[in-house]
Amino acid sequence: MSEAKEPTVENERDCVFMGRSHLVVLGAGASRAAFPNGDRHGKKLPLMADFVDTLELRPLLAQWGIDPDRNFEDVFSGIYEAGETDRIGILQSRVENYFGSLQIGDNPTIYDHLVLSLRKKDYIATFNWDPLLLQAYRRNGRFELPKLLFLHGNVGIGYCVKDRTVGVAGARCSKCLQSFTRAPLLYPISQKNYAANHFIASEWGTFKKLLAHTFMVTIFGYSGPQSDQEALSSMGAAWGPVRNRELEQTCFITIQDRDTVLGNFRDFVHTHHYEIDSNFYNSWIAHHPRRTGEAWWNQYLECMFLPNNPIPKDVDFPALWNFFEPFREPERLFEVTRGNRKNFGDA
C-alpha cells in the first residue's frame, strides 16, 4: 500500500496487490463502439437490430419468403426448428464469410486500449463472432494481457479437443501438432444447448466460475441475456443471489438508459454498487488501466480519493506502449512475491 493518504497516479501504478479477476463481458454494442466506421475496409459491425441489412441478407430472405424485417435471431431459430438444413448451411456460410473477412485498421482502437488495460489475471468474455478483438490482442502481445473467452464461438478461434488447447484458427495445437478445429459459431436459437460442443461448454464453465469469484464485472455493449434462456440461467446461477454480493462492483458501458439497463440486469446487480457509462473512456477501466482492482480496493474499502490515470486514447502505438511500459515492473514484482496465482485467487 502507498504511504500517502491520497494516492497519486504513480502510487497507483507502482502498487500492485490484487489477485482476483476483473471480468469484462462484450456484446455486439462493444464491437460497434470500437469500430464506429467499420473495419479496415469500412465493413460495418452489426447489431442484432441491423444484422440482416449489414450482412446483406435481405434479398436472400425475401427469396425464401421470409420477412427480412424480422429479428435475425427469430428467423434463424425458425429455420433451425424446421430442420431446413440447406438454408441453415447457406446462412452459416454467409455469416462466416462476412465475419471472417473483417480486418482491424492500423491505428489503436478501443479493443487495443481494452486488452492493454487489463492484466493476465483478468478475463474478457465476448459474445461476438467478429475477429477484431483477437486481432487487437495479437498485435499487443508484447504485454501480458487478459485471457479471452468466446461464449458464442468466434471465426478467429480454433481448438484441440484431445489436448484441450485453444489457439488461432488455422494454427496447430502445440501438443499434438494437428491443425485446430475451428470453433463453431453458436447461433441464436431459442433452445440453446451449450453443452453440445466441447469448446463452448468449456468457455462457459470458466465463465461461470469467474462470475462467482470476480471482484468486478464490466458489461460493455451487451444488453443482457433476457432472450437467451440458457445464458440467463447460467449467469443467474453463477452470479449468485443478489443479496450475497455486497462488495462487488458492476460497471455498464452502454448507450442504453439507466432504467433499461437495470431492467435487463435486475437479477444480477446489487442496488447501489454499479455505475453506467455511455463511453468506454469514461469507464473505471479506462481511468485505472491495469490497476482496476487496486483502485477499486482503495476507493471503496479504504475510502481514498483517487486521481484518474486515463489511457492516452489519441496516440499511436509507440506512444501507447510507452505509457504502459512502467506498469510492467511492479506487476513482475507482485508475481515474484506472490508466486503463481490461481486463476480465481483471493486479493
Contacts to Zn ion by CB under 5 A: 160, 163, 173, 175-176
Query: Nearer to Zn ion by C-beta: 163 or 325?
Result: 163
Output 36 or 170, the one with its CB closest to Zn ion. 170
Q: What angle do CA 335, 324, 143 make, to 5 degrees?
A: 55
Q: Which of 155, 228, 160 is nearest to 193 (CA)?
A: 228
Instruction: Tell me the closest approach of the beta carbon of residue 7 to Zn ion, in angstroms.
Output: 46
- Least Å distance between CB 203 and Zn ion? 17
CB of 170 to Zn ion, least distance (A): 14
- Residue 251 near residue 219, CB atoms below 8 Å: yes
User: In what helix (H) or strand (E) does residue 328 lie, and over which residues does it extend?
Assistant: helix 328-338
**Of 49 and 176, which has the nearer Cβ to Zn ion?**
176
| DSSP result, 200-261 | HHHHHHHHHHHHHH-SEEEEES---STT-HHHHHHHHHHH--GGG-SS-EEEEE-SS-HHHH
Shortest Cβ distance from residue 172 to Zn ion (Å)?
8
CA of residue 40 relative to chain centroid, distance: 21
For 62-89, letters b (16+ CB in 10 Å) and e give eeeebebeeebbebbbebbeeeeeebee
Q: How far apart are CA 276 and CA 287, in angstroms?
A: 14
Least distance in angstroms from the C-beta of 198 to Zn ion: 12
CB-count burial class (<10 Å; 0-12, 13-18, 19+) for 26: buried
Minimum gap (Å) between residue 171 Cβ and Zn ion: 11
* Residues 14, 226: Cα–Cα separation, whole Å: 41
- Pick the closer one to Zn ion by CB: 159 or 297: 159
- Shorter beta-carbon distance to Zn ion: residue 116 or 160: 160
Instruction: Please answer whether residues 222 and 30 qualify as being in contact, where contact means their C-beta atoms are separated by less than 8 angstroms.
Output: yes
In what order do the strands lie in the sheet containing 165-168?
165-168, 157-160, 181-182
Nearest approach, Cβ of residue 204 and Zn ion (Å): 21
Name the minimum Å distance from CB 159 to Zn ion.
9
Cβ-closest residue to Zn ion? 173
Q: What is the sign of the dihedral through the CA atoms of 57, 63, 67 and 71?
A: negative
Residue closer to Zn ion by CB (options 81, 163) is 163
Q: Do the beta carbons of residue 138 and residue 163 sit within 8 Å?
A: no
Residue with smaller CB distance to Zn ion, 176 or 347: 176
Q: Write out the three cell numbers for 149.
A: 473467452
Closer residue to Zn ion in complex, CB, 175/258: 175
